[in-house]
Amino acid sequence: MKGVIRGAVERSRATLMAFIFLLIGGAVAYQAIPKEANPDVTIPMMYVSLSLEGISPEDAERLLVRPMEQELRTLAGIKKMTSTASEGHASVMLEFDAGFDPKLALQDVREKVDTARNKIPQEADEPEVHEINVSLFPVLSVALSGPLSETELVMIARRLKDEIEGVSQVLEVDIGGDREDLLEIIVDPQVLDTYGIDYGVLFNLVSSNNRLVAAGSLDTGAGRLAIKVPGVIEDLDDVLGMPVKVNGDQVVTFADVATIRRSFKEPAGFARINDNPGVVLEVSKRAGANIIDTIEEVKALLEEAKPRLPSGVEIDYIMDQSHQVESLLADLLNNVVTAVVLVLILILLAMGLRSAVMVGLTIPGAFLSGILVIWAIGFTMNIIVLFGLILVAGMLVDGAIVVSELADRNLHEGQSPKQAWINAAQRMSWPVISSTATTLAVFVPLLFWPGVVGEFMKYLPATVIICLLASLVMALVFLPTMGSLAKARPPQEAVNVPGSAHYRSLLSWLLRRPLTSLLTTLLLVVVVYAGYAQFNHGVEFFPDIEPDSAQLQVRARGDLSVYEKDALLQQVEARLQNLSEVNAVYARSFAMSDGQMGSDVIGVLQFQFTDWFERRPVTAIKDTMLSLADDIPGIILDFRQQQMGPTSGKPVELRLRGLDDTALNNATVMLRNAMAELGGFSDVEDDRSLPGIEWRLTVDREAAARLGADVVSVGNAVQLVTNGLNLATFRPDDANDEVDIRIRLPASFRSFDQLSRLTLHTDRGQVPLSHFVSVAPAPKVGTLHRVNGKRTITLQADIVQGFQLDERLNALRLNVPALPEGVSLAVAGEDADQKEAGQFLIAAFGVALFLMTLILVIQFNSLYQTGLVLSAIIFSTAGVLLGLLLNGQSFGIVMVGMGIIALAGIVVNNNIVLIDTFNQLRQEGMSPHEAALETGCLRLRPVLLTAITTVLGLMPMVLGVNVDLIGLNLGLGAPSTQWWTQLSSAIAGGLVFATLLTLLLTPCMLVLGHKKAINSK
């Protein structure tokens, strides 16, 4: 290393050119790097979607889900398989183990789905395999509303969708509130009876006349003639001329017996924006695309399209992630700048202008070099990377301070600048490398954090590692080169640190009582631990961040039509209009909720809030909303705020599994009663089948056979009253997908009573269905849920403010009554995530300790001194707890766990340099007492500087302060600072505590170790 340092200083021009290149390259990389809010995380989940219109939940489970599960369960690496079966639809969600290969897994899943396709009914739609990818989530939601018909709004949305998808950085656009096209053939039932139309014959006639015929070509020798037999339905005229009945030479067409019109399928729900009918364009960007540029381009396109839209159409942006990203970037960039300015001011006061300028240049040098590498390896600039930059803002100068402080002493002794900086860099090279290596050793294990949380958080250790390596090069190569070019100055008096005389007296007194100092420190640590056990603020998995949006789920039970559900939603919507703290209200009702919501959710109100500094906290807004609408009868309101970070869903998730449905339902009631008695749980929900009635048409097969009928013909007749009998499909020019052609009765005949009046054409003429079909009510089965092949009921709940998740779950475990035989209870959700993350962090901490021990033994060749350095880590945890107590923070499993691991690498740095100096003074012949005293005094300034710079770099996050030095603004409690308050408080508190121990206890322990060595001899 000494040769590298001397070579860099000797060839200063080349070294400075490389430094300038890194600065320019880093600045270019910062402009070019894609910017987004959350990192592009690979979620280890895929799902298979299956559909068969009209199928019941029990049949969907038996005929769709179970055959698919049988094939998929043989896949390697499956962690959990969750299935749902509902009316007309089924799905199987697969969760893979950490470290899975997404491309290989997708290929394997598709192969298994293809195999299972032969085992499910042929009438079912083709199964679809979907990969869950963060990059596919919408980044912009554009609402179109106005006094237009639904058809007009949908057609406008489709045109805009095509234009927006023409933007190169846009991946796709989905239309929320879109309706599926349908070609309706309306036929009076009396006409069907008069002509005696047989549904089977009708289906065959239409299918035979709607085919693509590849007629080929004719080569006559004198030319080649292309032959075409147009047979595919292309427009309404083709349908009108389609035969429906043939009797000898007489042909009856649809034009003779029916009315044909383009329409939509029955509504699955309704959408409104600010109380006006509307649709929503949900825009997703391509992976790696810059979110700010993408959304700006889409908005520019929409501004150009506005003059072409009908009057009255309004465009609202109800979700725009670019604002969030810009705000986060600005806030975190302000914190980086503030941290750097505070560090420079401190160095300026302690070491003078020349040293401050040179050390200050290493900060942007390390930052920009790190950003250049981050951009080169394909990372994006997201909130995790930005905090990694803030975390290292104070750490980047640790090596530079140690080198420049010794160089400053050499200059005061009269050495030339070149020799002073070369000697300082060479003398401190191995201590600086060792201290950097120990810091890196604690971050390297975090790169292997499994699961979604690990994928989310791995950007932090990667950023820290890259920037610390850059800072090491800055401190040992570029800083000595710049320092060697300074002008020489005459010898000066030794540098004095304010308060150093008092420190020398205190340290001398403590060195005479090393054992007492150790016992006092141990007592202090015990007191801190006891105080934290008494006054702590609980445990949580991930920080609770002030959201930009929220939604209000409206729940109701009963066999309600989609129109009745929408009417209930409108009542809630009317109460919550014109709230000053809400920018836009997006209301969506639906006939059947998706698998992500409870089965009794009839609609959702989504709110986009004003800026965080212009409104009350979201908890206060929630209370206001609930108080305005909680007196509406027949509904339950569930307020859900936007989830930040890798967590999702409610924190409490309990799973009951068993084979007996009655026992499962009883266990669910018992568990809900226990939660109600305990208290502390709110918005409790479960996914049991909702009570309801269904009507079953039971066919007497024997009687039907005597009359020439069967179950299929009965089903076809019933479909005329319900959704219509699907005859064929066609693809018109104005549609992207195939459009169903369905024959159905007029609206006035589509009633329950019509089922008893239906007739069927058989060999014996028109036969009433009532002769062999009985209609009877039966209990309705809603959505069925399975986990790993077994029926499962899941309970979810929120935690009431003032209670802690772990405390409530422990209390619930003690108070749960004995469950029915065959029913098992498992705790999932946030509690399971906490345990998984906690186990990894403990293992990572163990690996980090081993790596640090190895580095320290290599450095000192002494187990005692190695143990002494590592003991600082144990003592520093008391400072972590003290920092959390003083700042009123709960113990976050992820953030505080990472903070303790990061702190382990930081606190040993000063101890390494201090012990290295002690060993050198002992080699020069000083007694242990004198060497320890001189070591403390010599290292006082660099130890204080390195510790204070790191703490100062974190102080904006600790205090939740956002300082805009350019715009001269001061913000308190910004959401971007809420992310990292726990981690910053842990590191700052632990480092302050550990620094005091380094300056006072470590010299005592060195003396104590020497006394023990003498006594042992």
| Residues 293/147, Cβ–Cβ less than 8 Å | no
Query: Which 3 state secondary structure label does DSSP give 285?
Result: strand
Res. 661 pLDDT band, cuts 50 70 90: confident
> What is the pLDDT, as a whole number, of residue 729?
83
**HSE of 420, CA atoms in CB hemisphere, 13 A:** 24
State percent of the chain over pLDDT 90. Answer: 7
CB hemisphere CA count around 552 (13 angstroms):
28
Residue 967: both structure tokens together? 């715009």
Average pLDDT, the chain: 83
Spatial contact of 554 and 989, defined as CB atoms under 8 Å apart: no
Length of the chain: 1017
Summarised one tens digit per residue, pLDDT across range 95-147 is: 887 667 888 888 999 999 999 998 998 888 889 998 876 666 788 888 888 88
Of 204, 155, 206, 172, nearest to 740 (Cα)?
Answer: 206
Q: Which helix (H) or strand (E) holds 519?
A: helix 514-535
Distance CA 875, CA 993 (A): 8
Residue 868 pLDDT:
86
pLDDT bin (cut points 50, 70, 90) of residue 493 is: low
**Which residues 6+ apart lie within 8 Å of 783 measured at CB?**
57, 84, 85, 86, 595, 599, 687, 689
Residues contacting 637, CB < 8 A, separation 6+: 552, 553, 554, 555, 572, 625, 626, 629, 630
Largest CA distance in the chain: 124
Q: What pLDDT score does 645 carry?
A: 53
**Backbone conformation region of residue 634, classed left if phi is above 0, alpha if psi is from -120 to 50, else beta:** left
First to last CA, the chain: 38
| 3-class secondary-structure state, position 384 | helix
| pLDDT for res 69 | 92
Whether 466 shows a pLDDT value over 90: the answer reads: yes
Q: In CATH terms, is domain 181-264+693-779 a member of 3.40.50.2000?
A: no
895's tokens? 């953030």
Q: Grade residue 797 by pLDDT with cuts at 50, 70 and 90.
A: confident
Q: Which fold has domain 33-135?
A: Alpha-Beta Plaits (3.30.70)
pLDDT > 70 fraction of the chain, expressed in percent and rounded = 94
Rounded Cα distance between 70 and 112, Å, is 10
Pick the CATH number of 548-643 from 3.40.50.300, 1.10.3720.10, 3.30.565.10, 3.30.70.1430: 3.30.70.1430
- The predicted pLDDT at position 644 comes to 56
Encoded amino acid at 697, one letter: L
Cross-strand pairs, 963: 970
Query: Domain residue spans in the chain?
Result: 1-32+352-486, 33-135, 138-180+266-348, 181-264+693-779, 496-535+862-1017, 548-643
* pLDDT over threshold 80, residue 339: no
The pLDDT of residue 583 is above 90: no
Q: Which residues contact 1016 (CB under 8 A, 6 or more apart)?
A: none
Q: How far apart are CA 197 and CA 741, in angstroms?
A: 17
Has residue 647 got a pLDDT over 70? no
Query: Mean pLDDT throughout 340-357?
Result: 76
1-32+352-486 architecture in CATH?
Up-down Bundle (1.20)
Instruction: Evaluate if residue 909 carries a pLDDT over 80.
Output: no
d(CA 952, CA 274): 46
pLDDT digits (tens, 9 = 90+) for 182-240: 888 888 888 877 877 777 777 777 877 777 777 778 887 778 888 877 778 887 888 88
Residue 632 pLDDT exceeds 60: yes
Structure tokens at 504: 């020398």
Common-topology check for domains 1-32+352-486 and 33-135: no
Domain covering 138-180+266-348 in this structure, CATH number: 3.30.70.1320
By CB atoms closer than 10 A (0-12, 13-18, 19+), residue 400 is buried
Q: What is the pLDDT of residues 960-1000, one digit of tens each?
A: 777 776 666 666 766 767 777 888 888 888 888 888 888 88
- Residue 338's CB is within 10 A of a number of other CB atoms, namely 21
CATH number for region 496-535+862-1017: 1.20.1640.10
Query: Could you tell me the two tokens for 694?
Result: 């269904």
CB 244 within 8 A of CB 130: no
C-alpha 711/C-alpha 116 separation (Å) is: 26
- Say whether pLDDT at 257 is over 90: no
The C-alpha atoms of residue 501 and residue 485 are separated, in whole angstroms, by 34
SS3 per residue for 121-174: CCCCCCCEEEEEEHHHCCCEEEEEECCCCHHHHHHHHHHHHHHHCCCCCEEEEE
Query: How far apart are alpha carbons 755 and 771 in whole angstroms?
Result: 12
Q: What are phi and psi of 589, to 5 degrees?
A: -105, 155
Q: Where are the beta strands (DSSP E) in 503-557?
A: 539-540, 549-555
